[in-house]
Amino acid sequence: MTEPGAPPGPAVPGPALPGPALLFCPGDRPDRFAKAADRSDTVVLDLEDAVAPDSKAAAREAVAASGLDPGRTVVRVNATEPDRALDLAALAATSYRTVMVPKCSGPRDVAAVLEVLPDARVCALVETAAGVLAASSVAAADGVVALMWGAEDLVASLGGTSSRTPDGRYRDVARHARSVVLLAARAHGRAAVDAVHLDVDDVDGLEAEVRDAVASGFTATACIHPSQVAVVRRAYRPDDAEVVWARDVLEAARSHGAEHGGVFRHDGRMVDGPVLRHAEEVLRRAR
């Protein structure tokens, strides 16, 4: 675990979770596994909320028997025992090593995975009040590659009834949790995954949220339906004008000898280190 006061690590590049669009797929629907993997950047085979209690064993067997690309596959295990132990034991016999830990409330939940799968890459799903308060220590834990937040379980853990206001916007407590998880993830060099948009038909709302996620620093967004993947990819991909701006700014920095620091004026705007990093990030996403 990172020592308190240690300098933050670098921002996690794309390979931490390939591509910006994660797509959840029920673990008891093996007929959908390949399609979900083909239509997304990373598929999340779900053994938790998407599977009824009496289907857990069948889902576990289906995931263990599947043959998806382990580099583009995440498995969400159950949050409670004995199902979590059974999930991890099943994964030990597979090549799947990126594990999503739901309702992660602290580093101990990460350690429980590593005890069974020492080489696991953990995506910690922070979706309870305790998890939000412990987000920084979770992000600092060994084995963690990403943090994701979830609104519905969070509000349920508070005794609330809805994460959104009648006009569709997140309530303040959900927005606060989103910011806390993003800050904790990026401060420790982990990928940050934005929550799912449950209203599948609300394409405009999804696009607005994803564009805000991109501008804020999230590295991926989770989807619950294949139709959402194209919206997410489009929002994370810079348009031609953004790419031209980024290249022009970085070229201007080189011509001013300011690529490693300093301030200069370009097209009537002051450009300094943070602006150059914004431009570099635009080109990274374009690639």
Asked if the peptide bond before residue 82 counts as cis, ω within 30 degrees of 0, the response is yes
Read off the tokens for 237: 């991909």
Q: Give the separation between CA 59 and CA 29, rounded to whole angstroms.
A: 7
Residues 172 and 134 in one domain: yes
For tokens 């853990």, what's the residue? 157
Whether residue 7 has pLDDT greater than 70: no
Residues 88 and 140 in one domain: yes
Is 153 assigned to a binding site? yes
Question: Can you give the CATH number for the domain in which 88 is found?
Answer: 3.20.20.60
Q: Give the separation between CA 114 and CA 117, rounded to whole angstroms.
A: 5
Residues 266 and 198 in one domain: no
Mean pLDDT of the 168-178 span? 97
Q: How confident is the model at residue 107 (pLDDT cuts 50, 70, 90)?
A: very high
Residues 98 and 214 in one domain: yes
Mean pLDDT of the 27-51 span? 98
Element of type H or E holding 126: strand 121-126
Residues 255 and 225 in one domain: no
265 burial level (CB within 10 Å; 0-12, 13-18, 19+): exposed
Mean pLDDT of the 214-226 span? 96
Is 109 assigned to a binding site? no
- pLDDT of the residue at 34: 97
In a domain, 282, yes or no: yes
Q: Which of 17-21, 108-112, 174-178 shows the lowest per-residue confidence on average (mean pLDDT)?
A: 17-21
Residues 232 and 277 in one domain: no
Helix (H, G, I), strand (E, B) or coil at 209: helix
Residues 256 and 229 in one domain: no
Whether residue 278 has pLDDT greater than 70: yes
Amino acid identity of residue 116, one-letter, is V
Helix (H, G, I), strand (E, B) or coil at 259: coil
Q: Which domain holds residue 46?
A: 21-236
In a domain, 7, yes or no: no
Whether residue 238 has pLDDT greater than 90: no
Give the count of domains, the chain. 2
Is 28 assigned to a binding site? no
Average predicted confidence (pLDDT) for the chain: 91
Among candidates 194, 224, 199, 219, which has minimal Cα distance to 209? 194
Element of type H or E holding 75: strand 73-76
Mean pLDDT of the 67-79 span? 97
Helix (H, G, I), strand (E, B) or coil at 269: strand
Q: Give the separation between CA 44 and CA 50, rounded to whole angstroms.
A: 11
